[in-house]
Structure 1
């Protein structure tokens, strides 16, 4: 068995010539000639291997045939590590070399049922990068396609595979390349993409899902696990956007991932090195700001204008459809602007440098449970102060309360495994409800201001803007009356930690 440690980087096909010309790539020694690799992936008809996170592949490499078995990868920031067994293939599978007990039992039990599901065909150029003694990294440029059921997806990626050295050496090389090239770390393997194509599954936005922390975990272990889990959502949505997927939810979930990372930094700030906290809080804030306008306009169009537009408006002078068309054009332009901004900001480089910084973080002493309770208490006290200031229901103060609730909610989600299970779930559900109420109020306030500006510029839309604001007024008033009653028990009632 070998332990494969690699870093997968996606890039647009148009960037391949620049990648090949890059001094670090062009200066690395060639490892043989470029090859075309034909791979076929196998599973049982009911996808037993996939369910157990095992992959079986055959590869034709020139005149040679190989059989490969891989188990589930541990992945963080695009950097993955997985056990792998490779050997010759003569038309029949031989799993005798697989020394992972569970995988071996699975393969011996189901080996006779394996059938081809999908294939990949790509051209691979391999070079060996060795900047100093003790460090050797394979640079493998793959370009081609995945095929399944008459459908296909393109392959264009750079894989960095560690031969000798430390995983941080991979990240440092990737950071150097990403300063000049549009590289984005990507945890999704060719096999995963192949299964998606086999099922004809669309690429969907990825939500940040906190890992399950153990009560006896250290503070460093918990912080890294939470950071890497959120980073995976950032990466997945960024790759989908770069591939041209148009669903506005990709931008929303990317922005949520950035907000969660900033909240994580804020939550752990007392124990993090000051330069790490300050640097990454600022960088993540800059990236999130690039998406704010696009997200605000998506909310305006889908949450506030669409419900009104779909109703019958019988008065010809109320041009809600014209207002919606203006909003749709504005959000399309905002999206283009956001994508250009992200490209200029070097989003892939930011992910890679953040991953490297996480690997370099020193260990943090202390008890995680005690730390969590102290941080949750502090965030709740901060929200109390915002609550007291918002009793006049002024929009700006309600917005400040909303931000405080958001920080508290994220912290509760981070530390959920350390809370009383049922009480923690109830508390979190109530937090989400209160935050949604505050969010709706803020969305309407922001929309009113924007609609008023548009109406000032285009007089024909004044009546439509007033109609939309009036349509939402009853719900707005109802939410405004109840918002403090929803919030009060969360701040002064029993806490689940």
Structure 2
């Protein structure tokens, strides 16, 4: 399989939305399965394969959730459930990989007794992914669920056309703007407070990631400059938030690992935790300056407004935007 495309070239403004929904979801699920298979085939899965499985599971979920109005509820829920479990298990293995990569020589020495536990935790997560691959992928359950989704989607669309509920060829451009406005509403709401909040950083990161993955699908249907600018801003924000959240998580994990160690080793880990706390605080101060700046969150709000401006002159037709499920 060639490297999967983040941005589907077929997602043009005049494309038929129902058919595009099936095509995009199929492509993203196949990408997730591709990396799932790579993870399952090795006793010690490669770090990059685990990472890509996590990413493409999220992208697949974002696609299913974006196109929910075109899908039957049962196969969509089943597919989302399988993808979400894969994402969580890959996430646990990925967290171990990132933590192990952060350890310098002195910290490794202090954690000598815990290193095997960390590696065992990573191996257990990989083993669960391998077991799930056999039960869900190799058994054909994912393929069957995807086929049911595609089949019931086509039948639902045909029935809706007959009943006049959905335009026979609902164009993706207008439909995407309406759906994207609904799916990004929570994130945009979080940009309204005048003061940044460390407590809300984690949720802002989660919602921002979901918005970015949904935007990837619709980029070809948007004005090129406006779409690229919004996507670049979301990527930059995600990087900022990711660094802060990672440092907070590392600090907490090092304190957990320090419990029960000898005094010297404990001091070393507590020092490492304090260092990550300082980095998180420095990152948050930088983020707060961005939040207050004219080219910070206000610029991001303007970019969203520019994307949604055409909706003011359009009376949306077709299915009511679905509410996405909360996932990390």
TM-score normalised per structure 2: 0.76
Check if 1:351 corresponds to 2:148: no
Distance, in Å, in 2 between the alignment partners of 1:242 and 1:422 is: 40
Alignment pair present for 1:372 and 2:154: no
The CA deviation at 1:290 is: 1.9
Q: Is this contact kept in 1: 2:62–2:213, CA < 8 A?
A: yes
Looking at structure 2, the residues matched to 273 and 325 of structure 1 have their Cα atoms a distance apart, in angstroms, of 51
Q: Does 1:299 align with 2:98?
A: yes
1:480 Cα deviation after fit:
0.7
Q: Quote the Cα distance in structure 2 between the aligned partners of 1:407 and 1:340.
A: 27
Residues 397-436 of structure 1: matches in 2 within 5 Å? Answer: 397-436=200-239
Q: 1:336-356 CA distances to partner (integer Å, 9 max, x unpaired)?
A: 212321233224134322332
Q: Does 1:217 align with 2:15?
A: yes
Q: Where in structure 2 are the equivalents of 1:321-360 lying within 5 Å?
A: 321-323=108-110, 328-345=115-132, 346-348=135-137, 349-360=140-151
- Take 1:384 and 1:273, find their aligned partners in 2: how far apart are those partners? 28
Q: How far off is 1:409 after superposition?
A: 0.4
Aligned to 1:496, what secondary structure does the other structure show?
A: helix
After superposition, residues 187-198 of structure 1 pair within 5 angstroms as none
CA contact (8 A) 1:301 1:324 kept: no
- Relative to structure 1, the CA distance from residue 381 to residue 355 in structure 2 (aligned partners, 3 Å threshold; closer, same or farther) is closer
Is there any run of 5+ residues in structure 2 with no aligned partner, and where?
158-165, 309-328
Question: d(CA) in 2 for partners of 1:279 and 1:414?
Answer: 22
Contact conserved, 1:215 with 1:417, CA < 8 A, in 2? Answer: yes
Q: Which structure has the higher relative contact order (CA within 8 Å, separation 6+)?
A: 2
**Shift of residue 383, structure 1, vs aligned partner:** 0.7
Could you say which residue in structure 1 is the equivalent of 2:78? Answer: 279
Whether the 8 Å CA contact 1:230–1:257 is kept in 2: the answer is: yes
Show CA shifts across 1:155-210 (max 9, x none).
xxxxxxxxxxxxxxxxxxxxxxxxxxxxxxxx58xxxxxxxxxxxxxxxxx56533
Matches of 1:261 and 1:216 in 2, distance apart?
A: 23
Q: Deviation at 1:221?
A: 1.9
2:295 counterpart of 1:476: no
CA distance in 2, matches of 1:280, 1:220: 18
Give 1:214 shift.
2.5
Residue 326 to residue 219, structure 1, CA distance change in 2 (3 Å): farther
- Provide the secondary structure at the position in 1 that maps to 2:153: coil
Report the RMSD for the aligned CA atoms in angstroms.
Answer: 2.6
Distance 2:118 2:228 in 1: 36
Helix, strand or coil for the counterpart of 2:307? coil
| Cα distance change, pair 434–441 in 1 and its aligned pair in 2 (3 A) | same
Contact 1:211 1:225 in 2 (8 A): no
Residue 237 of structure 1 aligns with which residue? Answer: 35
CA contact (8 A) 1:376 1:411 kept: yes
Q: Is the 8 A contact 2:198 2:284 kept in 1?
A: no
Do the aligned partners of 2:208 and 2:238 also contact (CA within 8 Å) in 1?
yes
Question: Structure 1 CA distance, aligned partners of 2:75 and 2:195?
Answer: 37
**Which structure has the highest helix share of the two?**
2
Q: Computing the radius of gyration over CA atoms, which structure comes out larger, 1 or 2?
A: 1
CA contact (8 A) 2:187 2:204 kept: yes
Q: Retained in 1: the 8 A contact 2:90–2:125?
A: yes
- Structure (1/2) with the larger strand percentage: 1
